[in-house]
Amino acid sequence: MAEVKNKEARIGVFVCHCGTNIAGTIDIEAVKEYAKTIPNVVVADNYAYMCSTPGQNKIADAIKEQNLTGVVVAACTPRLHEPTFRNATAAGGLNPFRFEMANIRDQNSWVHMHQPVEATEKAKDAIRIAVAKASLLEDLVPKSVPVEKTAMVVGGGVGGMQAALDLANAGIKTYLVEKSPTIGGRMSQLDKTFPTLDCSQCILTPKMVDVYRNENIELLTYTEVEAVEGYIGNFDVTLRKKARGVLTPKEAEARGIVGGGCTGCGDCANVCPVIKPNPFELGMAPRKAIYIYHPQVSPLIYTVDFDACVKCGLCVEACGEKKAVDLEAQDEFMTVKVGTAILALGYDIYPIEKKFEWGYKNFDNVITSLEFERLICASGPTGGHLVRPSDGETPKKIAFVLCAGSRDNTDTGKPYCSRFCCMYSLKHAHQIIEKIPGAVPYIFYMDIRSFGKMYEEFYYRIQNEGAKFIRGRVANITEDPVTKNLHVNAEDTLLGRPIDMEVDMVVLAAAIQPSAETEKTRRLFGVSCSQDGWLLEAHPKLNPCGTTTAGVYLAGVCQGPKDIPDTVAQAEGAASAASIPIHRGEVELEPYFAQCIEEKCAGCGMCVYQCPYQALSLVEKDGRTVMQVTEAKCKGCGTCGGFCPGGAIWMQHFATPQIVAQIDAFLLGGEQ
Amino acid sequence: MADENWKPKIIAIICNWCSYAGADLAGGARIQYPPDIRAVRVMCTGRIDPLFILKAFQDGADGVLVSGCHFGDCHYLEGNYKAAKRMFLLKSVLKNIGLDDKRLRMTFVSASEGAKWGMVMSDVVKTINELGPSPLKEFAR
Ligand SMILES: Cc1cc2nc3c(=O)[nH]c(=O)nc-3n(C[C@H](O)[C@H](O)[C@H](O)COP(=O)(O)OP(=O)(O)OC[C@H]3O[C@@H](n4cnc5c(N)ncnc54)[C@H](O)[C@@H]3O)c2cc1C
Ligand code: SF4
Ligand code: SF4
Ligand code: FES
């Protein structure tokens, strides 16, 4: 707690043009001249791009020449360039925390583009406010903390698997947490993948095996995150291992069952009397109360659905000496320490029945694209024969409705583009032409977005194969009650005429949305989301894998719709980002800690209850009760400092005198 | 008292993680709003001592905006709940000293709500313009 030495402050002010971003609206010269008149300012300068090397050099040089005690840069936003200018400040030999930024771009020139006079006045005020704070800033030293050499990936789809493999192969022990009984995610439900048309399972299964076999990966399926505490380098994550009712060979061994545990033989499921729809097959095929989703699951361990199980015990008998089934299993909790974490939570299909005008769930032969994937897949419920749910007949005339619920600003739709529906619908069109002689796909589209490498070429190919394209949004679909055929009503916007087309089947390329537990999980990790619920990256262009919570990164669709190549690329980026702190071995935490001003502290202890992190306690000191801060626990929110009735808490970098000086500087024009 | 040239003086104390980021996003999207508000950044709305706000009014502020994360989204779990409670109590204090409590406003704007930030800005300026200069202004120094 340095003494406040306002009178001795020597501040340098640097005004950035940001090309014309700022200078196009704000009168830089006037602002600079004004800055020179602000108390404590000894030098004011301007430059086209303060963040460039010459701009940064100006700061360092001025610090040395003018013996500055503080630096103010009026430019973009501290959320972009505070680290840059802190470095420049340090390069001049000053403590980097003696830097303060005035935001005159993002919160000024860009939002008052047509009011140059007012914007210029606002910039002057912003600089005066920043100078007031800079005059009172003190030297601070970031706290270095060691980083736990383990990582966690939440979500075991293709994104999470890739991230976990990369981390593990970089030598980092990684926990891969997946809520369902198997890894694989949505990709394992797909038949083929655009634009190369390789078989999805064929390219995914080897990866699933790699994950299972990798010594550095601890695979925790059927497991959910319950609580997260701590900060970058030192997260304590509490996991709930849901009762699976079946022991792995390892678990069996731990219980002294020699040579026991599930081998995946399926004898249990053969005898289980309870039949339920299999969610992996979207309810189009049955499973037992003791089940696996599909033969390629990883790990190959059965799971008991305790909501369905009638506890008849037949499976226990069938399992015999392996003694793998434990019908008394309970949820287990475990807490692990990790240095960094990646969220790869994926997506769900939007409940497209909300668009009642298309009749999904009312009309038998209206299906979703994901259902199409299962029906056309050789390992799916129909052995790869696309059939009409109403009568088992092979459809010949099939309508594909693109942007079903996507790019839709009504209450029942999603405003964004789901990004892979155009491409997979082209793939579906190809598949029916290839598999069903004489079949014709009719694609109702708004625009075909084939933006990726070899995607446009794929589009041409499907056009040439004979798919029919109709540009127009489908208004409604009706069903012929006798034939169960469907009438698709749309407007062909290229020909400008209405269409009523009778088809055998309709496939809705339904919008996607964040997966069911995304909201809960992101809150545990303190990650923000955009209005649509997709997780928010730290910067849309410059930091698309990071989040505003240090040490937490994003991969795959949970950050926004993307196809498999983009998911894998982002996962590799996230893994690389998450490995950096671990390889460095330590991270610096911003030293915005609370401190007790013991002379003022009355020892009332009311602040202790304000802190969400239990960082405060009361101690006896020189015969008096005073508050004490445990710096390692304090995250610097300032909630205690906003509360202490005696003003006895000094919030480093956001101290009461500093904030009051900002308020006074604005309202009283800098005079005290 | 209504001066021809009166322009409202409004201060916004906003949290780093949500509202400040939302305000930056409004900039990126070039959303235009009235230029009468000056922002002071704190890490969390929980940092905001009610005395800061009283000080602002004492200094002659016509309005004060406190803006943070949505409930459940606070970067520090619950700072915004505590801030909301404090602002609620503070409003009754303002009434007692003869200030219209509409001069103090708390809003919740997330990092992705640039458009909402623009709306909040316009709305706060409109409210304060309707209320006119703060009656405490003449005592300010
Ligand atoms: C019909 C259809 C066809 C497609 N065809 C193609 C194609 O041909 N080519 C292509 O490139 N892309 C295609 N895609 C897109 C592809 O499915 C995605 O790009 C890919 O699955 C994204 O992977 P992911 O890991 O981000 O998410 P997901 O595959 O959704 O995986 C997320 C995983 O995280 C788990 N999880 C979620 N929340 C939690 C939690 N809170 N805790 C623990 N675990 C959790 C889930 O159970 C799941 O296993 C298609 C999509 C659809 C709908
Ligand atoms: S005990 Fe449960 S899981 Fe096992 S066979 Fe009976 S119903 Fe199926
Ligand atoms: S600043 Fe926040 S985290 Fe630190 S002691 Fe105070 S209340 Fe706790
Ligand atoms: S961090 Fe935004 S209100 Fe707490």
Q: Number of residue pairs across A and B with CB atoms under 8 Å?
A: 158
Residue-level pLDDT at A613: 86
Q: How sure is the predictor about A206, in pLDDT bands with cuts at 50, 70 and 90?
A: very high
A65 pLDDT higher than 60: yes
From the list B49, B56, B76, the residue facing A656 with the nearest CB is B49
Out of A287, A314, A328, give the residue to mutate to test ligand 2, the one with the largest number of ligand atoms within 8 Å of its CB: A314
From the list B56, B79, B82, the residue facing A667 with the nearest CB is B56
> How far is residue A533's CA from residue B92's CA, in Å, rounded to a whole number?
36
pLDDT 10s digits, A84-134: 999 999 999 999 999 999 999 999 999 999 999 999 999 999 999 999 999
Tokens linked to A529 = 């989301």
Q: Which atom of ligand 3 is nearest to the CA of A637?
A: 2
Q: In this structure, which ligand is nearest to the CA of B42? A: 4
Burial group, residue A235, by CB count within 10 angstroms (0-12, 13-18, 19+): buried
The nearest alpha carbon in chain A to B31 belongs to A111
Is B3 domain-assigned?
Answer: no
**Sign of the torsion formed by the C-alpha atoms of B30, B36, B41 and B45:** negative
Q: Which atom of ligand 1 is nearest to the CA of A427?
A: 8
Q: How sure is the predictor about B137, in pLDDT bands with cuts at 50, 70 and 90?
A: confident
> How far is residue A507's CA from residue A404's CA, in Å, rounded to a whole number?
10
Is B1 domain-assigned?
Answer: no
Pick the residue of A107, A523, A549, A614 with the most B CBs within 10 A to test the interface with B by mutation: A107
Q: How open is the CA angle A435-A437-A440, to the nearest 5 degrees?
A: 90
pLDDT 10s digits, A255-277: 999 999 999 999 999 999 999 99
* Of the listed ranges A237-246, A421-430, A622-631, the one predicted with least confidence: A622-631
Report percent pLDDT > 90 for chain B.
Answer: 86
- The predicted model gives A193-222 an average pLDDT of 96
What is residue A44's three-state secondary structure?
A: strand
Taking the centre of ligand 1 as the mean of its atom positions, its distance from the CA of residue A564, in whole angstroms, is 8
- What is the layout of strands, in order, in the sheet containing A397-404? A366-368, A505-510, A397-404, A440-445, A468-471
Residue-level pLDDT at B2: 54
Taking the centre of ligand 4 as the mean of its atom positions, its distance from the CA of residue A11, in whole angstroms, is 30
What is residue B67's three-state secondary structure?
A: strand
pLDDT 10s digits, A542-562: 899 999 889 999 999 999 999
The whole-angstrom distance between residue A289's C-alpha and the CA centroid of its chain comes to 33
- The predicted model gives A305-332 an average pLDDT of 97
B1 pLDDT higher than 70: no
* DSSP secondary structure, A276-319, as one string: EE-GGGTTSSEEESEE-SSTT-SS---EE-TTT-----HHHHHH
The whole-angstrom distance between residue A198's C-alpha and the CA centroid of its chain comes to 28
Is residue A611 within 6 Å of ligand 3 at its C-beta?
A: yes
CA distance B2 to chain A (A): 18
Q: What is the mean pLDDT of chain A?
A: 95
pLDDT 10s digits, A145-203: 999 999 999 999 999 999 999 999 999 999 999 999 999 999 999 999 999 999 999 99
Q: Contact, B64 vs B56, CB < 8 A? A: yes
Q: Contact, A577 vs A542, CB < 8 A? A: no
Torsion over CA of A292, A511, B72 and B17, rounded to 10 degrees? 120
Is residue A80 within 6 Å of ligand 2 at its C-beta?
A: no
Taking the centre of ligand 1 as the mean of its atom positions, its distance from the CA of residue A345, in whole angstroms, is 8
pLDDT 10s digits, B6-23: 899 999 999 999 999 999
- The predicted model gives A607-615 an average pLDDT of 91
CATH of the domain at B70: 3.40.50
Tokens linked to A232 = 């970058």
Residue-level pLDDT at B72: 84
Taking the centre of ligand 3 as the mean of its atom positions, its distance from the CA of residue B88, in whole angstroms, is 22
Q: Which residues from chain B sit within 8 angstroms of residue A121, using beta carbons?
A: 35
Q: How sure is the predictor about A672, in pLDDT bands with cuts at 50, 70 and 90?
A: very low
Q: Closest residue (by CA) to atom 4 of ligand 3?
A: A634
> How far is residue A334's CA from residue A327's CA, in Å, rounded to a whole number?
21
CA distance A582 to chain B (A): 23
Taking the centre of ligand 4 as the mean of its atom positions, its distance from the CA of residue A273, in whole angstroms, is 53
Q: Closest residue (by CA) to atom 7 of ligand 3?
A: A611
- Residue A315: CB partners within 8 Å, gap ≥ 6? A268, A269, A271, A272, A290, A304, A325
Q: What is the mean pLDDT of chain B?
A: 94
A11 pLDDT higher than 50: yes
Contact B112 A528 (CB under 8 A): yes
B98 pLDDT higher than 50: yes
> How far is residue A652's CA from residue B40's CA, in Å, rounded to a whole number?
16
CA distance to A358, A471, A491, per residue, from A496 (Å): 22, 10, 7
Residue corresponding to tokens 């029906």: A375
pTM across the whole model:
0.88
Q: How sure is the predictor about B141, in pLDDT bands with cuts at 50, 70 and 90?
A: low
Torsion over CA of A614, A616, A620 and A622, rounded to 10 degrees? 160
Contact A122 B113 (CB under 8 A): no
Q: Which atom of ligand 4 is nearest to the CA of B46?
A: 4
A1 pLDDT higher than 70: no
- DSSP letter for A406, please: S
Q: Which domain holds residue B97?
A: 10-139
From the list A530, A536, A642, the residue facing B46 with the nearest CB is A642
> How far is residue A377's CA from residue A434's CA, in Å, rounded to a whole number?
13
Is B4 domain-assigned?
Answer: no
pLDDT 10s digits, A564-582: 999 999 999 999 999 999 9
Is B131 domain-assigned?
Answer: yes
Is residue A640 within 6 Å of ligand 3 at its C-beta?
A: yes
Taking the centre of ligand 2 as the mean of its atom positions, its distance from the CA of residue A243, in whole angstroms, is 14
Contact B11 A666 (CB under 8 A): yes
Q: Could you report the predicted ipTM of this complex, rounded to two decimals?
A: 0.97
> How far is residue A420's CA from residue A158's CA, in Å, rounded to a whole number?
15
Contact A651 B48 (CB under 8 A): no
Is residue A304 within 6 Å of ligand 2 at its C-beta?
A: yes
Q: How sure is the predictor about A2, in pLDDT bands with cuts at 50, 70 and 90?
A: very low
From the list A113, A651, A662, the residue facing B40 with the nearest CB is A662
The 3 state secondary structure assigned to A464-481 is: HHCCEEEECCEEEEEECC
Taking the centre of ligand 3 as the mean of its atom positions, its distance from the CA of residue A283, in whole angstroms, is 50
Is B22 domain-assigned?
Answer: yes
Is B74 domain-assigned?
Answer: yes
From the list B39, B48, B112, the residue facing A531 with the nearest CB is B112
Q: Which atom of ligand 3 is nearest to the CA of A635?
A: 3
Q: How many domains does chain B have?
A: 1
- Residue A444: CB partners within 8 Å, gap ≥ 6? A399, A400, A401, A402, A470, A472, A473, A474, A488, A490
Q: Which atom of ligand 3 is nearest to the CA of A616?
A: 5
Is B5 domain-assigned?
Answer: no
Q: How sure is the predictor about A612, in pLDDT bands with cuts at 50, 70 and 90?
A: confident
Is residue B23 within 6 Å of ligand 4 at its C-beta?
A: no
pLDDT 10s digits, A321-363: 999 999 999 999 999 999 999 999 999 999 999 999 999 999 9
Tokens linked to A415 = 């405003």
- The predicted model gives B75-83 an average pLDDT of 92
Q: Contact, B62 vs B134, CB < 8 A? A: yes
- Residue A599: CB partners within 8 Å, gap ≥ 6? none
pLDDT 10s digits, A422-477: 999 999 999 999 999 999 999 999 999 999 999 999 999 999 999 999 999 999 99
Task: Identify which of A581, A548, A102, A72 has the alpha carbon closest to the alpha carbon of residue B43.
Answer: A548
**Sign of the torsion formed by the C-alpha atoms of A646, A651, A652 and A658:** negative
The amino acid at residue A126 is: A
